[in-house]
Amino acid sequence: MAKELEELVEFLSSPSPQITKGAVDIVRGLTGSDDGLHSLANYATTLLPSLSRLLTAPKEVSEPAAEALVNLSQNSDLVEQMVRMGLVKTTMDVLYKPDSSITRLLVMLLVNLTQLDAGTASLLQTEDDKVHGLYVMKLVRSFCRNSSESRDDPFDHVGSILVNISKQQAGRQLLLDPKRGLLKQIIRQFDSNSSLRKKGVAGTIRNCCFEAENQLQNLLLVSEFLWPALLLPVAGNKIYNEQDRSKMPLELGSALSIEREPVNDPEIRIQALEAIYLISLQDAGRRAFWSVNGPKIVQIGYEDEEDPKVMGAYEQLGSLLVHSSGTEEPSNETTN
C-alpha cells in the first residue's frame, strides 16, 4: 500500500494529462476519509506542492486538487506545512486570475489556512509594509461587491476569514484603520440574506470591539452602521412605539417601526451583545450606547428572548450598565 501511495503521488506530476487527472481524482477521494488523510500525510512533502501546482490547471484537474487541499488543511500538522510553503500567496494569486473557476474552494482553503496564526500573518502580509493589507482589501472588496445578486456567492466564506484575522491584534488594527474604511464596508454586509455572511460580519465586529479601549473613536466613526448591526438582532420582535423611537437615530427607529425578520441564529445574537458589552466597558462607549436608546432596546429584546445562553449575554450587559451608572437603567428589568 505504501508503494502504491508513493506512485500515486508521483503521478500528480506526470506529463500526461490523463494520468494526472486520474491521480488527482483518487487523491481527492482519499482525503474524504480519516484513514485516507492519515495515509497521505506521510507523503506531504511531495503531495502538497504537487497539488498546489495543479491549482492553475484546467478545471477538471484544479477542482479536485483544490478539494483535496481543503480536506487536507483540516489537519493541523498539514496546514502548518501549507503555510510554510507559501500556499496563502499561491491561493490568492490563483483566486484573482481572470479565468479562475474554483473560487469557492479557494476561499474555503483560505478559511482553513487562517485558523493558524502564521496563516493569518501571511494573509495580512505583515512582513512587507509596501503590500501590508493588500490581500485583505481585495477579499473585502470581493465580499462586498455582489453580495445581493446571488444566493450562492462564492465569496460568502470571506466572512469566516475576517473572523479569523480579527482574532489577531494586527488584523483588528487593519480592519479598524479609518483610512482604509474596511470595517464600514464589512458592517454593511449584515443586511445580507446569507446566514453565513451575517455570522461572519457579527463575529468580525465582536472581535474588533476587543480594541475598544484604544480604538473606540474608530469604532464610533461607523456608528451609523454599527448600532443597527448590533442592536437589530437583539431588539426582539415587537414594533416599537413612537416615544421609544424618538430617542433613536433614524436608521434604528425606522427599522423598529415595522415588522422585521428575526435573527434566528443565537450565536449572532450573543456576538452582538458581547460587542455592545465591550464597547460599554468604556465611558464614552456607554454614553454612545445611551444616546441611541440602547438600554431600552436590549430590555425589550430580553423580554422576547428564550435561549438561555443569549439571556445570559443580555444579563451580563444589563449588570454592567446598572453598576457603571449607579442609577436604575431600563436594562435592570432584565434580571427579573
Residue 240: CB atoms within 10 Å = 21
5 contacts 40 by C-beta, under 8 angstroms: yes
pLDDT value of position 328: 39
CA distance 308 to 317: 14
Please give the grid coordinates belonging to residue 303. Answer: 423580554
Burial class (CB in 10 A: 0-12, 13-18, 19+), 308: exposed
More confident residue, 52 or 4: 52
Q: Read off the pLDDT of residues 133-184 as tens digits, 9 standing for 90 and up.
A: 999 999 999 999 865 555 678 999 999 999 999 999 999 999 999 999 999 9
* Arithmetic mean of pLDDT, 261-281: 96
CA distance 273 to 147: 25
CA distance 198 to 156: 9
> In the block, which residue shows the cell 415595522?
258
120 contacts 168 by C-beta, under 8 angstroms: yes
pLDDT value of position 146: 64
CA distance 154 to 61: 19
Q: What share of the chain is helix, strand, coil (3-state, %, to 5)?
A: 70, 0, 30
Ramachandran angles phi, psi of 238, nearest 5°: -70, 155
Burial 114-134 (b: 16+ CB within 10 A, else e): bbbeebbbbbbbeeeeeeebe
CA distance 230 to 253: 14
Residue 259: CB atoms within 10 Å = 8
Q: Where are the domains of the chain?
A: 1-88
pLDDT value of position 147: 57
Q: How many helices (H) and strands (E) does the chain have?
A: 22, 0
24 contacts 54 by C-beta, under 8 angstroms: yes
* Arithmetic mean of pLDDT, 111-115: 98
* Arithmetic mean of pLDDT, 186-200: 92
CA distance 189 to 157: 13
User: 287: alpha, beta or left, given left = phi > 0 and alpha = psi -120 to 50?
Assistant: alpha
Q: Read off the pLDDT of residues 53-65 as tens digits, 9 standing for 90 and up.
A: 999 999 999 999 9
69 contacts 81 by C-beta, under 8 angstroms: no
235 contacts 228 by C-beta, under 8 angstroms: no
More confident residue, 267 or 149: 267
Please give the grid coordinates belonging to residue 46. Answer: 511531495
CA distance 187 to 185: 6
What's domain 1-88's superfamily in CATH? Leucine-rich Repeat Variant (1.25.10.10)
